[in-house]
Amino acid sequence: MKTLADFNFEGKKAIIRVDFNVPLDENFNVTDANRIEAAKPTIDKILKDGGSVVLMSHLGRPKGVEAKYSLKHIVAKTEEVLGVPVKFASDCIGEVAEKAVADLQAGEVLLLENLRFYAEEEKGDLAFAEKLAKLGDIYVNDAFGTAHRAHASTTIIAQFFPENKCFGTLLAKEIESLNKVLNNSVKPVTAVLGGSKVSSKITVIENVLDKIDHMIIGGGMTFTFIKALGGNIGNSICEDDKMTLALEILEKAKAKNVQIHLPVDVVAADAFSNEANTQVVDVNNIPAGWQGLDVGPKSLEALEDVIKNSKTILWNGPLGVFELEKFAGGTITLGNFISEATQNGAFSLVGGGDSVAAVKQFGLEPKMSYVSTGGGAMLEMLEGKTLPGIAAIEN
């Protein structure tokens, strides 16, 4: 795996694919700079070597050139995070970009305009990728969030740098962390899979079964399994057409000696609301008109030992509707168990939009070994797919 450590950037211009697709408020202020902060170590190393940096990213889903999606809005925040001035080019290819790059001195940073102002970016257009490639001596991909897309700036561009391409610090860390869970894990290995649908996790489940000892199933997809096993789930969410599949998963797990842990009790509510009436009930006997919205206390008690005895933990998906305060308890408690296990030497990897949102919301992020930055990309790696953005650097 070629990383930044394999290059000295002195006198070189590094063109870096970053993921600066950050949220902006109505006044175009950056409301969460996490993704910019995540790219800082890569940029720092290049500048420290005596190189210069050309940053390229997308922002939002513009239809052609749309002022509200201009990356000029994030220049001030990027300067603040990096602690150096950031120049801005009002285009990402052509004369404007080429002149800005030609004027760039060692130690300077240039941010190009939104790549997606050109339809060619998402189409993976070769000629467009070649125009981008003109803007640097070394290509660095540090955008895990887009590594599963075969876009011009994430994948196609790499072929113009046969020798001079590498992973940035962030992307290298993502690959390393996922490999640690999927291929080099210390046993016992536990996967916590939550979220609302079995259908969105099937391929993940099938791919990780050979690599784990325990699988904890939580969140809304619990009820597809419980109903398939003959339980009464009241008004709980359920994918009726996936019940046979749920039973097949249980059979496969059994054949591979993987212990499946389903909740034994749930916090049920008479409405999907923070104002709802609630009661703790047996997972197999949820009353008509009620729905399970969080995992119950007995279930958590049983999970505590499983988590705390694990040496490798993958957490993908919450155990309840944590967005509603009343039903966040299970997810918070699980997070605390995982952070305790991590403190005692386990390796914990958190990935997937909702679990990442939960650990951030409840202040658990610093207590995990690694929190992934790419929802879709991480999911595809967990499914065993080769991501085009990673393959392009490795080839």
- Fold match between 4-171 and 185-382? yes
State whether residue 280 is helix, strand or coil: strand
What confidence category does residue 373 fall into, taking pLDDT thresholds of 50, 70 and 90? confident
Name the one residue in this structure whose structure tokens are 């305790």. 340
CATH number of the domain at 185-382, out of 3.40.50.1260, 3.40.50.10110, 3.40.309.10, 3.40.640.10?
Answer: 3.40.50.1260
Domain ranges in the chain are 4-171, 185-382
CA 379 – CA 234 distance, rounded (Å): 30
pTM of the model: 0.88
- Rg (the chain; Cα; Å): 23
Residue 201, pLDDT score:
85
pLDDT in tens, 6-18: 999 999 999 999 9
State whether residue 287 is helix, strand or coil: coil
pLDDT in tens, 176-228: 998 899 888 999 999 999 988 888 888 889 889 999 999 999 999 999 999 99
- Interval 121-125 mean pLDDT: 97
Instruction: Report the DSSP pairing between strands 109-112 and 86-89.
Output: parallel
Which member of 17, 35, 45, 165 is catalytic?
A: 35
State yes or no: pLDDT of 297 exceeds 90.
yes
pLDDT in tens, 62-112: 999 999 999 999 999 999 999 999 999 999 999 999 999 999 999 999 999
Which member of 72, 197, 252, 298 is catalytic?
A: 197
Instruction: Look up 35 and say whether it is catalytic.
Output: yes
**Pick from 142, 182, 148: which is nearest to 38 by CA?**
142
Residue 357, pLDDT score:
87
CATH number at 4-171:
3.40.50.1260
323 is annotated as contributing to ligand binding:
yes
- Interval 159-181 mean pLDDT: 94
| DSSP for 2-52, written as a single string | -BGGG---TT-EEEEE------B-TT--BS--HHHHHHHHHHHHHHHHT-E
61 is annotated as contributing to ligand binding:
yes
Instruction: Look up 289 and say whether it is catalytic.
Output: no
Nearest 10 degrees: CA dihedral of 247, 312, 326, 293?
A: 0
Q: Are 365 and 342 in contact (CB under 8 A)?
A: no
